[in-house]
Amino acid sequence: MAEENTNTNVQDVKNPEEFLANFNWHNYEEGIDQVEDEKLEEFEKLVAENFVDTDDDAVVDGTVVRMTDREAIIDINAKSEGVISLNEFRYNPDLKVGDKVEVLIDVREDRTGQLVLSHRKARTIKAWDRVNAAHDNGEIVNGFVKCRTKGGMIVDVFGIEAFLPGSQIDVKPIRDYDQYVNKTMEFKVVKINHEFKNVVVSHKALIEADIEEQKKEIIGQLEKGQVLEGVVKNITSYGVFIDLGGVDGLIHITDLSWSRINHPNEVVELDQKLNVVILDFDDNKSRIQLGLKQLSAHPWEALDSELKIGDVVKGKVVVIADYGAFIEVAEGVEGLIHVSEMSWSTHLRSAQDFVKVGDEVEAKILTLDREDRKMSLGIKQMTPDPWTDITTKYPVGSKHTGTVRNFTNFGVFVELEEGIDGLIYISDLSWTKKVKHPSEFVTVGDKLEVLVLELDVEGRKLSLGHKQTTENPWDKYEGEFGVGTTHTAEITDTNDKGATVALNEDVVAFIPSRHLEKEDGKKLKKGETAEFKVIEFNKEFKRVVASHTAIFREEEQRNVQAAAKKSASAEKTTLGDLDALQELKDKMEGK
């Protein structure tokens, strides 16, 4: 047929040479009918206007024309329709025929000749362009909060997973992140990392501008004494931060309650709404001091007007110091019990020895000042003063058993009963031991037998003795080791002034140096045993002095005395006796 047409054309040509020069041999060889140039141009124009250039990677719009269980058939005005897996539309479960979707040509022709499209890639490209535009123009975008992550949340913005830091969720601290999951919120793109394709968004940035205006308005209207409503924003050990609507104020722990509290969470809790009063602020009103307790009357004003000195009140120990304890007798009303008013005892003790925080106690009002809001109390006044009948219970000369409470360099304090203490001077601890410090003799807590030596009722002083509870062994030693008695002992120690010997376990005698001389002229040395004669005995000062020299010197003295007596009797002889004496003398002289 083509051949017939060609022959016809050749016959119709007036100029064969021109015809042959312009003849399309390609179409002739392929068997393609000759088409007029105008129609061909029109056809090419229609193709350019209605069909997609499949070589271009640009994102195009397509229409869902059919859906299967796994795929969506998309018409993009190409030579053939494309397919997209339904997995790419999981974010849009309501996809239906007729919907417009953005697609990117992924594979122009697969093994079956099918055009393969990608909606995910198209969304990513478009989303990145839209995110960059939103960042550059400061636009507000919608995002879907997908899940929590470390430090914040993951938000789907245009199909891109953006990071929402925890600090950018709201102007107030967020304690429950889960409440935002699966919610669609408005955000502002605040940062883009083009290298790693990271996007950071903020919800806080949207409300900060409004809050700043609100803050300026609130600050401009602040006045001392003004009462405002606020929300507990943060609780610390020293106070509570209150959000006044964009402006933060602090309620110090001492301004939360008229009563003493250990921590602010005893009074308030997070996100609680409450009224507060402005107490003070600095010049630029950046630091606002608030009060809560000031909105209620002071407890002292509600205190029973009939309460007076001498009345007994009940209360709870709220604070303990070394000097005393504070007792809350009514909410916000406290009295101080000084440590000296806790016991009739006079020796030093701390308040912790008597009470602890939380104890319920009864006390008597000692002073009451309603103007200065001060009250002092006493516990010891709840029991009789033990010194009232002291002379009956502890007369001079009576023996008792006490407890060692403490001691000083000069003596030991012994408690006979609560409130009754006595002092034992160091010299009254032992008859025989030379005590340099009481700790050598007793320890705190020991039970000790004592004898009342002196009693001063007005001065509330008791003088006690321990050694007086036993007989003085020196009374016996006075006879056993009195002056003139002789004893055999070993020299235990020597020095420049003399030596010492132990006559028994209690009595140590001192031997002066000149009394150490033996009969041969030498001196006794340490370790030698010899006889000693007591030449001095002082019971009061427990002093014994003895001498070895006196032993043989005494014998010499007896010989001298005997010779003197013999000489005296010779003077009384007669003349006849003189002749006999002369004869004896001559014999002695060897005549």
In a domain, 297, yes or no: no
CA atoms within 13 A on the CB side of 407: 21
* Span of 24-33, 393-402, 496-505, 524-533 with lowest mean pLDDT: 24-33
Residues 250, 8: Cα–Cα separation, whole Å: 105
Structural domain ending residue among the three candidates 137, 171, 191:
137
First to last CA, the chain: 212
Residue 81 neighbours by CB distance under 10 Å:
17
- Domain assignment of residue 148, given as a range: 140-208
In a domain, 539, yes or no: yes
Give just the sign of the alpha carbon dihedral 264, 265, 266, 268.
positive
Model pLDDT, residue 1: 43
Q: Residue 509 burial by CB count (10 A; 0-12/13-18/19+): exposed, middle or buried?
A: buried
Structural domain ending residue among the three candidates 208, 230, 249:
208
Do 234 and 203 have their domain in common? no
470-489: burial string, b at 16+ Cβ within 10 Å, e else: eeeebeebeeebeeeeebeb
In a domain, 561, yes or no: no
Highest mean pLDDT among 198-212, 346-360, 367-381, 466-480: 367-381
In a domain, 564, yes or no: no
Of 356, 357, 360, 339, the residue nearest 348 (C-alpha) = 339
pLDDT digits (tens, 9 = 90+) for 34-87: 555 666 566 566 555 554 554 446 678 888 888 888 888 888 877 678 888 888
In a domain, 301, yes or no: no
Residues 416, 403: Cα–Cα separation, whole Å: 7
pLDDT digits (tens, 9 = 90+) for 310-331: 899 999 998 888 889 999 888 8
Do 361 and 395 have their domain in common? no
Pair 364, 370: CB distance under 8 Å: no
CA atoms within 13 A on the CB side of 9: 15
pLDDT over 70 (residue 556): no
In a domain, 52, yes or no: no
Residues 122, 130: Cα–Cα separation, whole Å: 12
Q: By percentage, how much of the chain surpasses pLDDT 90?
A: 15
In a domain, 339, yes or no: yes
Query: What mean pLDDT is reported for the chain?
Result: 80
Beta strands at 333-338 and 374-378: parallel, antiparallel or unpaired: parallel
Model pLDDT, residue 57: 61
In a domain, 429, yes or no: yes
Do 123 and 145 have their domain in common? no
Do 377 and 316 have their domain in common? yes
Beta strands at 60-67 and 82-85: parallel, antiparallel or unpaired: unpaired
* Span of 1-5, 298-302, 507-511, 565-569 with lowest mean pLDDT: 1-5
Do 367 and 400 have their domain in common? no
Model pLDDT, residue 520: 81
Do 166 and 228 have their domain in common? no
Q: Residue 324 burial by CB count (10 A; 0-12/13-18/19+): exposed, middle or buried?
A: buried
Structural domain ending residue among the three candidates 440, 465, 490:
465
Do 132 and 148 have their domain in common? no
Pair 118, 76: CB distance under 8 Å: no
Cα-to-chain-centroid distance, residue 91: 51
**Can you give the CATH number for the domain in which 361 is found?**
2.40.50.140
Do 233 and 182 have their domain in common? no
Pair 35, 61: CB distance under 8 Å: no
Do 428 and 477 have their domain in common? no
What's this model's pTM, rounded to 2 decimal places?
0.42
Give just the sign of the alpha carbon dihedral 46, 47, 51, 57.
negative
Do 95 and 117 have their domain in common? yes
Q: How many domains does the chain have?
A: 6
Pair 432, 506: CB distance under 8 Å: yes
Do 128 and 151 have their domain in common? no
pLDDT digits (tens, 9 = 90+) for 431-459: 777 888 988 889 988 999 999 999 888 88
Q: How confident is the model at residue 510 (pLDDT cuts 50, 70, 90)?
A: very high
Residues 526, 493: Cα–Cα separation, whole Å: 6
